[in-house]
């Protein structure tokens, strides 16, 4: 479905803002979740959004985000409920209270952490050899970090699912798991990747992250490669740490899971959920 352009004034509190990011790490996160989206946030009021970011869960002006075309190419708006519907006053109050309760919590998020989580929980481990060092680093980074750390889409999902509503769980999004054809491995600009990685490494709380290797002769596409025991072991450890009793299998063709493992929820899951309707695009793709 193609999103039509809408003004910022059309956004309402509770709307989910799905972002398409700029740069190789965003491209890899989107690829790993088979999506055009690499980040999720939520609107709080006419010009305030809330998201899990590099300094934890924070609020920021939406108007500022719309000018940040150096980091984002598009922002699509999804609204809870069928087209023309929305949240009532009590639901909005409960949703905002839950989202704001996460403010100030120690959930620093960086793209390396999110990339490692998405690749581990979705078993996207078949990378071309010149880039497998990045997958190893991302997985190690997750293992060495707080296992309770949330990714951006998990924060949005939990804000909805855990809102104090009557009846309980009235805003819990329905997550559908539909088998999709694997997306081709994205073309990666090596120089841009190194620059973005080094910037992420510099700003990460994990000061043990290694320096990037020198550029290879070529960056190929994903294909059959020798199994990497370290990658497999770290991914399995991440899945075990982040598992909950109500988990879902991404191998099943079609599932409606009312109680998904929140650590596996991706931005694309909001786009595919029958709980949300596409409103439009506030930041057009360039």
For residues 222, 224, 225, 227, the Cα torsion angle rounded to the nearest 10 degrees is: 120
| Cβ contact 132:228 at 8 Å | yes
pLDDT top residue among 181 and 165 = 165
Query: What per-residue confidence (pLDDT) applies to 76?
Result: 98
Q: Model confidence at 17, in pLDDT bands (50, 70, 90)?
A: very high
The pLDDT tens digits for 128-152 are 888 999 999 999 988 888 766 778 9
281: tokens are: 């695009």
pTM as predicted: 0.86
Buried/exposed code over 248-268 (b: 16+ C-beta within 10 A; e: otherwise): beeeeeeeebeebbbbbbbbb
Strands (E), 34-81: 39-45, 48-53, 56-61, 72-80
pLDDT(282) > 70: yes
Distance, in Å, from the CA atom of 98 to the CA atom of 93, rounded to the nearest integer, reads 9
Structure tokens at 284: 């057009």
pLDDT (0 to 100) of residue 151: 83
CB-hemisphere CA count at 13 Å for 103? Answer: 12
Percent of residues in the chain assigned helix, strand, coil, to nearest 5: 35, 20, 45
Using CA atoms, how far apart are residues 253 and 281, in angstroms rounded to an integer? 30
Angle, helices 24-32/111-121, rounded to nearest 10 degrees: 20
Task: Give SS3 for 226.
Answer: coil
Sorted by where each begins, the domain ranges of the chain are 8-283
Span 8-283: which CATH code? Answer: 3.90.1720.10
Residues 6+ apart with CB under 8 A from 148: none
176, 260 in Cβ contact below 8 A? Answer: no
Confidence of residue 108 (pLDDT cuts 50, 70, 90): low
For the chain, what is the mean pLDDT? Answer: 85
| Chain position carrying tokens 């899945």 | 239
DSSP 106-151: S----HHHHHHHHHHHTT-----GGGHHHHHHHHHHHHTS-TTPPP
Q: For the residues 261-282, what does the mean pLDDT come to?
A: 90
- pLDDT value of position 46: 85
pLDDT tens for residues 79-93? 999 888 889 999 999
Q: Do residues 60 and 51 make contact, with C-beta atoms less than 8 angstroms apart?
A: yes
């Amino acid at each position: 479905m193609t999103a039509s352009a809408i003004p910022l004034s059309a956004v309402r509190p509770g709307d989910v803002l799905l972002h398409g990011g700029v740069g190789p790490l965003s491209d890899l996160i989107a690829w790993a979740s088979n999506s055009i989206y690499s980040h999720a946030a939520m609107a709080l009021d006419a010009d305030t959004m809330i998201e899990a970011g590099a300094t934890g869960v924070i609020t920021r002006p939406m108007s500022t985000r719309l000018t940040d075309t150096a980091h984002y190419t598009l922002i699509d708006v999804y609204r809870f409920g069928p087209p023309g519907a929305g949240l009532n006053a009590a639901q909005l109050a409960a949703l905002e209270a839950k989202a704001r309760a996460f403010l100030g919590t120690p959930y620093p998020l960086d793209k390396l952490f999110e990339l490692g989580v998405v690749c581990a929980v979705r078993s996207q481990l078949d990378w071309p050899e010149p880039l497998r060092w990045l997958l190893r680093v991302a997985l190690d980074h997750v293992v060495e970090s707080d296992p309770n750390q949330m990714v951006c889409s998990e924060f949005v999902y939990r804000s909805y699912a855990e809102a104090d509503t009557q009846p309980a769980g009235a805003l819990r999004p329905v997550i559908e798991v539909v088998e999709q054809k694997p997306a081709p491995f994205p073309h990666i600009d090596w120089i841009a990747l190194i620059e973005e990685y080094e910037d992420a490494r510099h700003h990460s709380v994990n000061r043990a992250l290694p320096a990037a290797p020198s550029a290879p002769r070529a960056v190929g596409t994903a294909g059959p490669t020798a199994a990497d025991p370290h990658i497999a072991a770290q991914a399995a450890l991440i899945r075990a740490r982040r598992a909950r009793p109500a988990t879902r299998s991404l191998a099943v063709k079609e599932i409606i899971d009312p109680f998904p493992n929140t650590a596996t929820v991706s931005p694309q899951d909001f786009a595919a959920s029958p709980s949300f309707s596409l409103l439009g695009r506030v930041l057009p793709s360039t």
